[in-house]
Amino acid sequence: MGVGVIEFFLSALNWFGLVLNMVGVTLAFFYGYPQPDLDDNLHLSLGEMPSDWKMPSGETYGDFKKRIAREKATHLYRSRLGLALMFFGFLFQLASVFVAK
């Protein structure tokens, strides 16, 4: 391999790591980092509402709970994906520095 090919490979590795970092940071900006649910409010109720109860928006309570659970799962997935992309981007950039030596 020529020196130019190795330099191109190292530059591409560093560039790829930087792109992964930027995508990860963007996801972390919009979705935050995964955190525990620290809700300290006291919720009192007389029991579970029937799942066919209609809310003012026209959505049933059961559908509302399913939608909220899906949104929470999507939010958690995207925030963890952002962290993983930042980690792997850092590893690619670190690898490009160590391979160069």
Q: Render pLDDT for 52-64 as a digit per residue (tens, 0 to 9).
A: 778 788 888 788 8
CB 92 within 8 A of CB 13: yes
Helix, strand or coil, per DSSP, at residue 2: coil
Indicate whether 44 belongs to any domain: no
- Give the range of the structural domain holding residue 59, as residue numbers without chain letter: 3-32+51-100
Indicate whether 75 belongs to any domain: yes
Summarised one tens digit per residue, pLDDT across range 78-96 is: 999 999 999 999 999 998 8
- Report how far apart, in Å, the C-alpha atoms of 81 and of each of 7, 17, 43, 70 are: 30, 15, 32, 16
Cβ neighbourhood burial of 48 (10 Å; 0-12, 13-18, 19+): exposed
Angle (deg, nearest 10), helices 61-100 and 3-31: 150
Indicate whether 43 belongs to any domain: no
Indicate whether 67 belongs to any domain: yes
pLDDT score for 45: 64
Question: What's the structural domain count of the chain?
Answer: 1
Indicate whether 9 belongs to any domain: yes
Given a cut of 80, whether residue 44 has pLDDT beyond it is no
Indicate whether 37 belongs to any domain: no
pTM: 0.72
Tell me what the pLDDT averaged over the chain comes to: 83
Indicate whether 74 belongs to any domain: yes
Indicate whether 83 belongs to any domain: yes
pLDDT score for 2: 66
